[in-house]
Each structure stands twice: as structure tokens, then as C-alpha cells.
Amino acid sequence: MLRILATVTLVLGTLGMGLGARAAASDPVHAVPTEQSADPRTALLKLLPAGSKAEDLQPSPIPGIYQFTQGSDVSYLTADGKYFLDGNLYDMNTRENLTEALRTRGRLSLISAIPESEMLIFGPKNPLYTITVFTDVDCAYCRKLHSEMAELNRLGVRVRYMFYPRTGPNTESWKKAEAVWCAPNRNDALTRAKAGAPLDMSKTCDATPVAREYALGQSLGVRGTPAIVTEKGDYIAGYMPPRELVQQIKDMQLAKR
């Protein structure tokens, strides 16, 4: 989000009168483009980060305002390009957080693109809940969460791990994540690594999912670990004891009904 705000700040003053002339006076967001009127999103894209696409900008529930969505990142931009809004939009009738609903769909879409064959999974035979956890081998609270895996599984929680070495590429934690993936028994290697046991760092393999999952975590706005995403797309930042985590998942599910 900071990256988007910086881009908007740098470019806002350059749009000039051209955008205002193209915006419809009544409701430029919801107006149907004609052959004589250009799509106002074309000009708005000049204000947004490189690589932004027209489909990233869609009419918001508020006339005259677009919602800008990239992954699970959601913000708002007025159709004349003068104002950029960063925050949550609520429906006052239903009290629903419309922005969070968009973020939730974005998280589910991004995570569903990663096959389970590229995750490390610890789960009971008949799970009641599935969570995706971005984890760092050296993170103290990630280790605490993993040490309680038996209790999580007993409570019906299936844990799907993705790698998120907080220190970034070419660091010790990154190399440990790759060593875990390249081990003959990945689940056992992860458990030993989180217990502080040394890894065989000489083990290498052709390809690991570490870079892809790290990039995914950044797209989802992960800033710390463990970062937990429920099967409904809700985001839980940080460690919670097993029973509290299950209750949080239940509460989030109930709130969506």
C-alpha cells in the first residue's frame, strides 16, 4: 500500500485537465462509455504503479469512485484522479466491511493458485478446519505454533505451511527453508528445524517453492510470521494458542453468515 501511495503522490499533479475533460459530469464511473468518450480508467492508470491494468480498476459502490484491487490490496481513487483513499468501506445497512470482502476474495484467489504439492501439510484424518500458515523456520512464535501441532490436529485443524523467511533471499533462514524442502522427509525436517536441530545444508534440489511463496506472502501483505489465512480467506496475524485460534476461526465463520 505504501508503494501505491508513493506512486500516486508523485504522479497526481501531472494528470492535468485532460482527465477532467474526459470524465462524465454526472457519474463517470458508472456511465456507459461511448465511441466519443474514452474509458476514464486509461488516464487513471497513469497514476498507479507500473503494471496496473484496467481490470484492476472497477466501479465502487460509491458513484464517482473506483476501487483499485491488486491481489488482496484494495484502495480507492476518484474518477477525476484528484483523491486517493486508503481504508475500509462499510455498507451502513448491513454493517458489512466491503473492502475486507474484496481482500478476502483476493487472498483466496492467490492462495488457490498454489498446489498443495508445494506446501508442507500437517493434519488429522478428518479435519474440521484448514488454515494456510506462512512460516519462518527461525521465527520464535512459528516454532511455538508448530510445537502445538498435536493439539491443533486434535482440535481438527489441518495446517498447510508455506515458506516466508522474513529476512529475505540469500539469508540463513532462506537457506534453511530450501534445505527443509530438499530433505528426503520434509515434514520431519521442518519439525527438527523448528526444534533448533541442525539441518543438512548440503542438500540441494532443482527447484523449491520458497521464492514463489515468499512473493505470494508479500502480495498478501504479510509483514510478520506466523501469518494465518483461513479457508474462507480471513487473515489472522500472529500466534494464538490452539483453542483460541479455533475459537477465532469459528467467530470469523459465524460473522460471514
Active site residues: 136, 139, 142, 166
Q: CA 42, CA 68: separation in Å to the nearest integer?
A: 13
The three-class DSSP label of residue 178 is: helix
**Number of Cβ within a 10 Å radius of residue 59:** 17
Q: Can you tell me the distance from the alpha carbon of 57 to that of 68, in angstroms, rounded to the nearest whole number?
A: 5
H/E stretch holding 110: helix 98-112
Containing 227, the helix (H) or strand (E) segment is strand 227-230
Grid coordinates representing 29? 464511473
Contacts of 102 (CB under 8 A, 6+ apart): 67, 69, 74
One-letter amino acid of 50: A
